[in-house]
Structure 1
Amino acid sequence: MTNALESDVEDLWERRESGLAASDVTHDDRATLDDFLDALESGEVRAAEKESDGGEWTANEWVKRGILLNFSLRESRQRSYGDVDYNDVLPLRDTGDLARRGTRNTPDGTVIRRGAYLGSDAIMMSPSFVNVGAYVGDGTLVDSCDTVGSCAQVGDDVKLGANTLLGGVLEPVESAPVIIEDDVSLGAGCRVTSGFVVGEGSVVGENTLLTPRIPVYDLVEEEVVYGHLPSNRRAFTRYVESSVADHDLFGDGGAYKPAVVATDVEDETLEATQREGALRE
């Protein structure tokens, strides 16, 4: 089915590029759009996958095109969520399949958009939001006030602390979205954006910002990396001197920019002073 669905989506994409509008969509076109969303919800297709050799994550461009088609080839209309009326091109996801897989979404504010996947034994606490194209793995906790952005890929047995934001990345279609691999714990208030990859088994301290523009000082391999946190790291935010620190506007106070420090996830004995010294070195 996947190959046929991919072909149908690519054909619809070419027609849209040639001028197909929402008002011109046929019954068969709508069936393709619906079948595509069903495949996302079942986990049959995903917006990104890891290479078979365990290498990098790559985007499935046709899947991201399918999501964009569901935005551009549907007309917005009024819908209802409890006592709230809203306007959107997509309804919310039917959650009737969650109970038989042991997945819970608590009442009063757990919003799952059509085209999102939730694994078995997962938990969504209210209020929280999972967007179209997102994948939330088995046994994962999406805590209160969390957002899982469009196409974000979250592995198994992950803990997303309260008030955590995963930014997703829908466009450009060739760019991999935010990735949170298996057995990761993100502390409350974390932000992960712009296709950043958090490696398997890592523990990230609260209020940490992970984005490709912020360097990760990996004290395990003694290198600075961008765009990903290696597997099995304990990460937290520190501030390092900025290149503009000598500007007259800053006077004697200096200027600092955020950085992420990563240590071995098993090493809980490294004192704060040692961390700071290692970072400066």
Structure 2
Amino acid sequence: MSPLESAIEELWDRREEGLTTSDTTHEDLATLDAFLDALEAGEVRAAENSGDEWTANAWVKRGILLNFALRRSRRRSYGGVGYNDVLPLRDTADLARRGTRNTPDGTAIRRGAYLGEDAIVMSPSFVNVGAHVGDRTLVDSCDTVGSCAQVGDDVKLGANTLIGGVLEPVESAPVVIEDDVSLGAGCRVTSGFVVGESSVVGENTLLTPRIPVYDLVEEAVVYGHLPPERRAFTRYVESSVADHDLFGDGGAYKPAVVATHVEDETLEATQREGALRE
């Protein structure tokens, strides 16, 4: 256990015993600041891949929760607009050294978010505390990357895409987008869903553990993850409530995701995207 992890666990125990913002010391706040610095530097992450499975680092998620529980909300300003929050936006001075760009007029990166080298964050977009955005990844306009979400290297998040985050319970892994994934405009990934590496997801696709993925490659129905190297898109399948008298002869359908092999022309389109970014 690292000194930082030990300090966070100690603070968590004290919080469980009744520690409040009124009792928080300068030393406690210094620990919370050091924790956020470690998140921004990529030294700690809310989840990690151990073998074939993503697991949550519970102590990291506790550290994020402590930053909400033990800080007072303050009046702040962003782009000339006042707001109230316990955390400020992230200092972006280090991004230039990494070759990372964040465009003005609406790009909000919260304290405790990590952005990798040569990443691009377009405005308006929002990257929340605990999120990890990998090298050369594009966060396009109107995107949201939720708290603790793990987004890999060389990922393209299409415009108006929502990457949800899972902060509680602390044992649950957050949403994960693995390396070399391309998500079309308007996609939503929620509730700890994992998108496998080198996959291409069609626009306006909803990926959540409650919606089945019909994997035509392995001829299996899976939940909670999209296997690697898949092309996925939304279709509708007949629902079990279709026999209800209320529907008459019209039937009833529910959303599903169909996954096939990534097509050669899709790979070529992704490569063209990479060439444009270079």
Normalising by structure 1, report the TM-score. 0.93
1:242 and 2:244 correspond: no
Q: Which amino acid aligns with 1:265?
A: V
* Shift in alpha-carbon separation, 1:40–1:183, aligned structure 2, 3 A: same
CA distance in 1, matches of 2:22, 2:33: 17
Deviations 1:86-135 (A, max 9, x none): 00000000000001110000110000000000000000110000000000
Quote the offset at 1:236 in angstroms. 0.1
Instruction: State how far apart, in whole Å, the 1-side matches of 2:245 and 2:32 are.
Output: 57
Matched, 1:252 2:249: yes
Tell me the equivalent position of 1:115: 112
What is the match of residue 177 of structure 1?
A: 174
1:1-281 equivalent positions in 2, closer than 5 A: 3-51=2-50, 54-266=51-263
Deviation at 1:268, TM superposition (A): 6.0
Cα-to-partner distance string for 1:120-162 (whole Å, 9 max, x where unaligned):
0000110000000000000000000000000000000000000
What letter corresponds to residue 229 of structure 1 in structure 2?
L
- What are the ranges of 5 or more consecutive residues in structure 1 without an aligned counterpart? 270-281
Per-residue deviation, residues 187-221 of structure 1 (Å, max 9, x unmatched)? 00000000000000000000000000000000000
Aligned equivalents of 1:221, 1:159: Cα separation in 2: 26
Counterpart CA distance in 2 for 1:55 and 1:171 is 22
- Distance (whole Å) between structure 2 residues aligned to residue 179 and residue 161 of structure 1: 16
Secondary structure class of the residue paired with 2:22: helix
Aligned counterparts of 2:82 and 2:4: Cα–Cα separation in 1: 33
Query: Cα distance, 1:82 vs. partner?
Result: 1.5
Amino acid at match of 2:46: A
* Number of equivalent positions: 266
State the 1:266 CA deviation. 3.0
DSSP-derived class of the 1:257 partner: strand
Q: What secondary structure sits across from 1:238 in the alignment?
A: strand
Q: In 2, Cα distance between the equivalents of 1:144 and 1:68?
A: 28
Give SS of 1:244's match.
helix
Amino acid at match of 1:221: E
| Shift of residue 72, structure 1, vs aligned partner | 0.3
Q: Give 1:242 shift.
A: 0.1
Give the aligned partner of residue 275 of structure 2: none
Secondary structure in structure 2 of the residue aligned to 1:24:
coil
- 1 CA distance for matches of 2:186 and 2:170? 28
* Aligned-residue RMSD, C-alpha: 1.0
Deviation at 1:251, TM superposition (A): 1.0
* Corresponding letter in the other structure for 1:5: L
Tell me the amino acid that sits aligned with residue 249 of structure 1. Answer: L
Give the residue type in structure 1 aligned to 2:14: R
Shift of 1:267: 5.8
In structure 2, the gaps of 5 or more residues are 267-278
Distance 1:227 1:201, change over 3 A: same
TM-score normalized with structure 2 length: 0.94
Percent of aligned positions with the same letter in both sequences? 86
